[in-house]
Amino acid sequence: MNLQRWLTGAAGALALVVAACGGGGGIGGTGSPMGTLRVSMTDAPACGYDEVNVTVEKVRVHQSSNAGENDAGWSDIVLNPPQRIDLLTLTNGALAELGQVELPAGKYTQLRLVLAANGSTLPPANSVVLTGSGTEVALNTPSAQQSGLKLNANIDVPAGQVLDVVLDFDACKSVVKAGNSGRYNLKPVIAVIPVLSDAGLRVIGYVAPALANAATAVSVQASGVPIKATIPDSTGRFELRPVPAGSYDLVVTAPTHSTAVMTAVPVVSGTPTQVSSMTVPIAPAAAASAPVAVPGSVTPATATVRALQTLTGGPTVEVGFAPVDADTGAFEFLLALAPPGKTAYVANPATITFAPDAAAAGRFTLEAESGGTLLTQPVDVNLPVPPVTFLFP
C-alpha cells in the first residue's frame, strides 16, 4: 500500500510550503508571535467498501471563515508529491500525518483540504473498491479539485507551541452512489478536532470474539450524535481517538447481536479510558431474529438519513446511517428486532452485563436532514413497515 510506505518515511516525503501573504495574516510579516499547526487524518468505518482512496495535495488554513481561495492570509501545507491514502486503514486510532506549518499564533476558523483531480492514469487519484468485488471505481470529487473541501474550524494556535489537529474523515457518510450509473460521488463529512493531549482523549476496549469483524461498529456519542466511530480489529480490540474530554454513551452495533449501550463513559486528557478488556469484553446478546429491511426515499437526494433508538429512561442513540442514492434519493436500513441492552460505565469491571430493554425492542425513529431542517418518522419493525418517504419543502 502507498500509505504504508508513506507512513514509514513521512518525514522525508513531505515538503512543507508556507504561503506568505499580506494583510496581517502572513508569515513573519510583522514580527507577531508564531506557533505551529500540525495536521493528521483519521477515519470512521465505511459501509460497503474495501477501500476508499483519496489523494491529498494540500491543506490550507485561514483565520477567516469567509476567506476566498485567492484572498491574502492563507498558510499552506503542500504534500510533494501528493499522497494517496486509503482511509479504511485509518481505524482504531491510526493517524496519517499530513505535515505541519509555522504561522502566526491565534484563532483559525477555516481549513481546506485540496485533493488531486482524477486523470487518465490508473489507479485513479480518488477511488472506491466495492466490498467483495475487487472492482476499483473512480470517485468524483469536483468540489475538491480547485478551491478544496472547505472545513469549518475553531482552533487556537498557541505562541511558541505545536497544536495538533486531526481531520476526521467519515468515509461511510462521504461516499454516495449515483443510481445505476456506476458513478460514486464524494460528499465530504469531515470533522476538525484539536488534540491538546496525546495521553488521554481516547476510549479503549474489547468486544467479544464473535464481534471481532468489520460488520461491528463501535462509537462514542453525545445526545445521539456520534463523535468518533471505528471497527474492532481481529482480536476484538478497539480504540476511539481523538475524543474531546467529556461524558459519552458508548454504542456497539452488529447485524447478528443486540445493540449494546454503555452510558456515562468519561473521557479525560490525562489518561485513556478503558471500558473493557480481552478477559472481560463487551458481549451483547446474540439476536434471535435477523434485522428487518426498511426501505425509503428522500427528496432532495442531497439529504442525509439516520436511525435513532431511544432506550427506556434514555439515552437516545444513533444505531444506523443509510447512504442516500445521489440520483434517486433511495435508502435502506436494516433494523434490529432484538431488544437493546444498557449498562453504566464502571472502571475495571469484573463483569459487564447489559440489561435488555424490551420496551424499546424494534422501535426506532428515522431522521432526515436537509439544509438544517429535520424531518422524523417513527418506525416499529415488530409490525409490517411500508417504505418511508421524506419530502422537504
pLDDT at 87 over 50: yes
CATH (domain of 108) = 2.60.40
Average pLDDT over residues 79-85: 95
What pLDDT, on a 0 to 100 scale, did the predictor assign at position 267? 96
- Considering the domain architecture, whether residues 362 and 286 belong to the same structural domain is answered as yes
- Considering the domain architecture, whether residues 346 and 230 belong to the same structural domain is answered as yes
What pLDDT, on a 0 to 100 scale, did the predictor assign at position 31? 64
- Considering the domain architecture, whether residues 273 and 190 belong to the same structural domain is answered as no
> Residue 204 corresponds to which cell in the numbers above?
479503549
Tens of pLDDT along 184-195? Answer: 998 888 989 888
Q: What is the rounded distance in angstroms from the CA atom of residue 220 to the CA atom of residue 262? A: 9
The whole domain housing 252 covers: 203-391
Residue type, 50: D
- Considering the domain architecture, whether residues 276 and 357 belong to the same structural domain is answered as yes
At 347, the pLDDT band (50, 70, 90 cuts) reads very high
Q: What is the rounded distance in angstroms from the CA atom of residue 261 to the CA atom of residue 315? A: 9
From 174, 195, 216, give the residue that closes a domain: 195
Enumerate residues 6+ apart whose C-beta is below 8 A from 53.
84, 85, 86, 87, 123, 124, 125, 126, 127, 128, 129, 139
CATH (domain of 227) = 2.60.40.1120
> What is the dihedral angle through the alpha carbons of 343, 344, 348, 352, rounded to the nearest 10 degrees?
-10
Q: Are the C-beta atoms of 90 and 97 separated by less than 8 Å?
A: no
At 270, the pLDDT band (50, 70, 90 cuts) reads confident
Enumerate residues 6+ apart whose C-beta is below 8 A from 2.
83, 84, 85, 86
Q: Work out how many domains the chain is built from and give that number.
A: 2
- Considering the domain architecture, whether residues 128 and 66 belong to the same structural domain is answered as yes
- Considering the domain architecture, whether residues 55 and 180 belong to the same structural domain is answered as yes
- Considering the domain architecture, whether residues 274 and 170 belong to the same structural domain is answered as no
Q: What is the rounded distance in angstroms from the CA atom of residue 176 to the CA atom of residue 188? A: 10
What pLDDT, on a 0 to 100 scale, did the predictor assign at position 9? 37
Count helices and strands (H / E) in the chain: 3, 28
Q: What is the rounded distance in angstroms from the CA atom of residue 291 to the CA atom of residue 293? A: 7
What pLDDT, on a 0 to 100 scale, did the predictor assign at position 340? 98
HSE (side-chain half, CA atoms, 13 Å) at 366 = 24
> Residue 227 corresponds to which cell in the numbers above?
463523535
- Considering the domain architecture, whether residues 101 and 130 belong to the same structural domain is answered as yes
Average pLDDT over residues 374-390: 97
Average pLDDT over residues 102-118: 94
At 196, the pLDDT band (50, 70, 90 cuts) reads low
How much is the pTM? 0.81
Q: What is the rounded distance in angstroms from the CA atom of residue 218 to the CA atom of residue 224? A: 14
Supply the mean pLDDT for the chain.
88
pLDDT at 259 over 90: yes
pLDDT at 117 over 80: yes
Average pLDDT over residues 335-347: 97
The continuous run of DSSP H or E covering 101 comes out as: strand 96-104
- Considering the domain architecture, whether residues 189 and 267 belong to the same structural domain is answered as no
pLDDT at 44 over 90: no
From 161, 195, 229, give the residue that closes a domain: 195
Percentage of residues in the chain having pLDDT higher than 90 = 71
> Residue 119 corresponds to which cell in the numbers above?
486523470
Average pLDDT over residues 154-176: 90
pLDDT at 77 over 80: yes
Strands lying side by side in the sheet with 388-391: 330-335, 292-299, 388-391
Tens of pLDDT along 204-241? Answer: 999 999 999 989 999 999 999 999 999 999 999 999 98
Average pLDDT over residues 98-121: 93
Q: What is the rounded distance in angstroms from the CA atom of residue 322 to the CA atom of residue 312? A: 24
At 11, the pLDDT band (50, 70, 90 cuts) reads very low
What pLDDT, on a 0 to 100 scale, did the predictor assign at position 120? 83
- Considering the domain architecture, whether residues 219 and 184 belong to the same structural domain is answered as no
- Considering the domain architecture, whether residues 337 and 366 belong to the same structural domain is answered as yes
- Considering the domain architecture, whether residues 70 and 11 belong to the same structural domain is answered as yes
Q: Is 153 helix (H, G, I), strand (E, B) or coil?
A: strand
Tens of pLDDT along 357-375? Answer: 999 999 999 999 999 999 9
